[in-house]
């Protein structure tokens, strides 16, 4: 009798999975997690799928904003986020079932040049000021000045 399938997780930052990428602060970045049955097996749905983010400073792991994970297709989940703090970040994707699995990727955030910030609008951030808040389709939320 065999046990549950071994889940293997891959995380894609803006469509890539190998080299760390660099983005501007407040840029909307797609993070995609893929879960497979074994290293080369078919994609499979999992339970308790989460994304977590390790900012350059602050708490070790910041969970993604509630409600921002979307199931794209079987075994494929996506989260759009716009980090506000500059520096080297890590993103983690994990699941708890049918077996636990985790993947980690690194990406860099360059501070937004002052000349690019529109003075007539403010970018809405969460209370930690580490993330810009986005609509579900990845657009920045702004308030009029």
Report all structural domains of the chain as residue ranges with CATH numbers, in order of start.
7-144 (2.60.40.10)
Q: What is the pLDDT of residues 107-126, one digit of tens each?
A: 999 987 766 555 445 667 77
Rounded to whole angstroms, the Cα distance separating 82 from 89 reads 12
Which tokens hold the place of 72? 């794209």
Q: What is the CA radius of gyration of the chain?
A: 16
* CA dihedral sign of residues 81, 84, 133, 117: negative
Name the pLDDT band for 138 (thresholds 50, 70, 90).
low
pLDDT in tens, 48-85: 998 888 888 876 676 666 677 889 999 999 988 888 88
Euclidean distance between CA atoms 98 and 96, whole angstroms: 7
Predicted model pTM = 0.77
């Amino acid at each position: 009798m065999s046990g549950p399938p071994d889940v293997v997780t891959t995380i894609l930052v803006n469509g890539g999975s190998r080299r760390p990428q660099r983005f501007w602060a407040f840029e909307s970045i797609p993070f995609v997690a893929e879960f497979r049955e074994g290293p080369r097996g078919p994609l499979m749905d999992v339970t308790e799928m989460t994304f977590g983010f390790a900012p350059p400073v602050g708490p070790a792991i910041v969970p993604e904003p509630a409600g921002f994970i979307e199931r794209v297709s079987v075994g494929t989940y996506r989260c759009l986020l716009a980090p506000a703090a500059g520096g080297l970040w890590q993103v983690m994707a994990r699941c708890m079932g049918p077996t636990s699995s985790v993947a980690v990727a690194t990406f860099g955030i360059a501070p937004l040049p002052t000349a690019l910030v529109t003075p007539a609008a403010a970018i809405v951030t969460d209370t930690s000021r580490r993330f810009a808040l986005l609509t579900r389709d990845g657009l920045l939320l702004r308030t009029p000045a």
